Amino acid sequence: MVSERGLQVLRAIVQDYVDTHEPVGSKAIVERHAFGVSAATIRNDMALLEDEELIAAPHTSSGRVPTDKGYRVFVDHLAELRPLTPAQRTAISSFLEGPADLDDLLARTVRALTGLTGQVAIVQYPSFARASVTHVELVNLGGGRMLVIVVTDTGRVSQRIAPVAGEFDDESVGRIRVALSSLVVGRAVRSAAKRVDELLTSPSDDPATVESVAVRALAKVLAEELDEFRQDRVLLAGAATLARRESDFRGSIYPMLEAIEEQVTLLRLMSEMVADEHGLAASIGRENEAFGLPEASILAGDYDATRGRARVGVLGPTRMDYPTNLAAVRAVARYLTRMLDDDESAR
């Protein structure tokens, strides 16, 4: 059982090691922190922390560094998160202001978060499987091409250029749009995808016309877009920060680069993390071993979307500024929720 002063000593070791990247000794703790006890007393506290496997000696020096277990205890006993400065809060709000659509908002979100934390930023797309299609639009580009635009009630907008055989006037384009809209508009993405699939797999009783052939060609594109709406996705920014902080990892950074490349690992990990009452979650070091990321920490916060919750967070080495990074994740998650709420209210 760690005493209250032992927790304070652990907190000092974590903070000093994050700041200096050097093992922390008892003399340094006495000099930097107002404990009001001797270096010998601090050494005794450190010995107890070492017995609990919360700190360890990286080599023969007298200094100690936090273990993964020590970081976990530190995070679990955080009395409060380090508040963001007014300038940081202003930067978040101005960076996220006036997005063109959901894709733009989430892209801005990860860029803002990696700028605040210096870590790899990750945001999950909300689940669109339960979203509903609100609009299908066609733009005739000429030359046998049409732009297919699909909009959902969660703010997701898809745009694809599709080849079509023949040339079409405005009236023909309007009839094709009505045919496609009747299949999907007002329906949940899952139901809409099923209706499109039924069209594509059923034989047509009517003689093929240029318009009916175009409807089927565009329906294939529509089916692909709806299928993508149903896929879980993440968006990332700041992968280059891993290379700049390679010295923070005992081993190779390649497992993290592979996880970023694959994304499936990050989706599973972020989905399985258990949030606290504030909607924040942390998975530290060896807790991520099953995902092939034993030297990484992931911090995440829940944000509310129209059809449920998703997560935004950061990925980096275990030696990170947990109070500041958690505060940044929480602030960005709250701004993101507010932006999506405002967008929903405006519809």
So where are the chain's domains?
A: 4-76, 86-126+232-346, 133-229
Query: Contact at 8 Å (CB) between 120 and 114?
Result: yes
57-70: pLDDT as tens digits: 987 667 999 999 99
Give the mean pLDDT of 30-46. Answer: 92
Question: Tell me, what's the pLDDT at 18?
Answer: 94
Burial class (CB in 10 A: 0-12, 13-18, 19+), 64: buried
Instruction: Output the six-digit token pair for 129.
Output: 């499987």
CATH code of 86-126+232-346, in short, is: 3.30.450.40
315-341: pLDDT as tens digits: 999 999 999 999 999 999 999 998 887
321 half-sphere exposure, CB direction, 13 A CA radius: 15
Question: Tell me, what's the pLDDT at 116?
Answer: 94
E strand or H helix at 317, and its extent? strand 308-317
Question: Tell me, what's the pLDDT at 307?
Answer: 57
Burial class (CB in 10 A: 0-12, 13-18, 19+), 131: buried
Q: Helix, strand, or coil here: 284?
A: strand
How far is the C-alpha of 141 from the C-alpha of 185, rounded, in Å? 23
282-319: pLDDT as tens digits: 999 999 999 989 999 999 999 987 656 789 999 999 99
Question: Tell me, what's the pLDDT at 128?
Answer: 67
Only one residue has tokens 């060896």, namely: 286
Query: Contact at 8 Å (CB) between 13 and 64?
Result: yes
Q: In terms of CATH architecture, what is 133-229?
A: 2-Layer Sandwich (3.30)
How far is the C-alpha of 178 from the C-alpha of 19, rounded, in Å? 62
187-211: pLDDT as tens digits: 988 899 999 999 999 887 667 788 9
Lowest mean pLDDT segment, chosen from 29-38, 111-120, 225-234, 238-247: 225-234
pLDDT bin (cut points 50, 70, 90) of residue 111 is very high
Question: Tell me, what's the pLDDT at 205?
Answer: 66
228 or 274, greater pLDDT:
274
- pLDDT over 60 at 245, yes or no: yes
Q: Helix, strand, or coil here: 295?
A: coil
Question: Tell me, what's the pLDDT at 112?
Answer: 95
Q: What share of the chain has pLDDT > 70, as a percent?
A: 95
How far is the C-alpha of 315 from the C-alpha of 273, rounded, in Å? 13
Q: In terms of CATH architecture, what is 4-76?
A: Orthogonal Bundle (1.10)
Give the mean pLDDT of 22-31. Answer: 93
How far is the C-alpha of 16 from the C-alpha of 8, rounded, in Å? 12
Average pLDDT of the chain is 89
Instruction: Output the six-digit token pair for 1.
Output: 């059982």
Lowest mean pLDDT segment, chosen from 2-11, 145-154, 222-231: 222-231
Could you give the dihedral angle defined by the CA atoms of residues 29, 35, 38 and 40, in that order, rounded to the nearest 10 degrees? -60
Query: Contact at 8 Å (CB) between 122 and 235?
Result: yes
